[in-house]
Amino acid sequence: MPIAIKMPALSPTMEEGILAKWLVKVGDTVSSGDIMAEIETDKATMEFEAVDEGVIAHIQVDEGTEGVKVGTVIATLAEDGEDVGDVQPAGGGDAAPAPAPAPAVEEAAPAPNPAPAAPTAAPAPAASSGDRIIASPLAKRIAEQKGIDLSGVKGSGPNGRIVKADVEGTQPGAAAPASAPAATPAPAAAPAEAQDFGIPHEVEKLSGMRKTIARRLTESKQQVPHIYLTVDIRLDALLKLRSELNAALEPQGVKLSVNDLMIKALGKSLEAVPACNVQFAGDSMLKFSRADVSVAVSIPNGLITPIVTDAGSKAVSKISTEMKDLATRAKEGKLAPEEYQGGTASLSNMGMFGIKQFEAVINPPQGMIMAIGAGDKRPYVVDDSLQIASVMSATGSFDHRAIDGADGAQLMKAFKEMIEAPLGLVA
């Protein structure tokens, strides 16, 4: 009996993908575990392995096809003993819905959470344009799963946008209570239409990853109230310790980078100031007991954030080894979803590009991100005298709904102290 090969869900929130490349052709024999295709998700290009054994009878979705829904039949496999010429293409059927994200990997499908409202303010009615209900993608998916009619749900997000928290507390069939009509919100400004003005150019189609980066960062800046805190940090002691550690670790083939020590310092700082190791979740807060640090890595198609789990407790040599492996596989598109989805905070280092200081955009639904600038020689007061020291600027971006300024300041203070007195990083 022919076997239908369907578009897989390669991440918990994947709904569709790009069939980037076929690695088999009609007539090829495949076995379980053979790589059949490369599929581009919203995060990375991943390999798709065969589960069954047989001969490729039909390829029903050409490579390069975009927007292939999860569950769509992309090829037909003939089982042993079947004549490939007699096998008919398997039916497409309905595309299976993508699985709802589990809390542990909710980072992969951020829900724009509602900003806290003033105590006397009533929630705005669901914003609509004509017959269109304005709601976040996650809210729409939850509503569909629970059988909720969004036309009767009041949106508490900006401009009455329906968000995750609005539908989670709504029962199927429940009617929204009547309320006084609210003023119609001003429509959000649409992006300016691209115009080339006759300037020579080429058009490059956005990859799935670039579209996701654009959407997520736009939502982050629109939905998350950022607060930025910057400190200058003297690096001389850290650089001296790194040199000594590398000399000791050379026989093991381990070479620490400054970034490895920064990851460790952020992990320990989050453990020391747990009020910053949190995530805003509408009417509740997630308080994490472990610091998993997502590290920004630039790859050809955009940016990905592999995770160093339990960064505060790991030895710096272990962090260094893991980070090199994660960065290499990230650039090759070979990370597993659990290796880049999640994390309790992020670190972005642009010091290698000579950037002295910058403010990073929070990676939702995380509560903070640390931006590391370049270390350079600067005039610096040491023991009440002006000296020349190696100094860098670090800026923390905090979700002000979850983290107060004073708590953010405590984290920046802890981070600075750990780098300026770095023996605690190897204790």
Q: Mean pLDDT in runs of 10 for the chain (427 residues)?
A: 82 78 87 85 77 85 87 84 72 46 38 41 44 68 77 72 74 49 47 76 82 86 95 96 95 95 97 97 94 92 90 96 94 85 95 95 95 95 92 97 97 97 91
341: CB partners within 8 A, 6+ apart: 11, 12, 43, 105, 107, 108, 307
- What was the pLDDT predicted at 55? 85
Q: What integer pLDDT is reported at residue 179 of this predicted model? A: 41
Q: Can you tell me the distance from the alpha carbon of 282 to that of 316, in angstroms, rounded to the nearest whole number?
A: 35
State how beta strands 45-49 and 35-40 pair.
antiparallel
Q: What is the pLDDT of residue 173?
A: 56
Classified by CATH at the fold level, domain 121-174 comes out as: Dihydrolipoamide Transferase (4.10.320)
CB burial of residue 81 (10 Å; 0-12, 13-18, 19+): exposed
Active-site entry in 58, 201, 226, 400: 400
Q: Residues spanned by CATH 2.40.50.100 within the chain? A: 3-86
Q: Are 97 and 70 in contact (CB under 8 A)?
A: yes
DSSP state of 93: -
Q: Are 146 and 136 in contact (CB under 8 A)?
A: no
CA-to-CA distance for 279 and 287, rounded, in angstroms?
A: 7
**Full strand arrangement of the beta sheet holding 35-40:** 45-49, 35-40, 16-22, 65-69
Specify the pLDDT at position 77: 82
| pLDDT of 234 | 96
Q: Which class in CATH covers the domain with range 225-425?
A: alpha beta
How high is the pLDDT of residue 210? Answer: 81
- Spatial CA neighbour of 416 closest among 396, 388, 402: 396
CATH 2.60.120.380 fits 3-86, yes or no: no
Q: What is the number of residues in the chain?
A: 427
Cα–Cα distance, 344 to 229 (Å, whole number): 18
What pLDDT shows up at residue 123?
43
Our answer to whether residue 201 is catalytic in this structure is no
Give the pairing type, strands 132-133 and 128-129: antiparallel
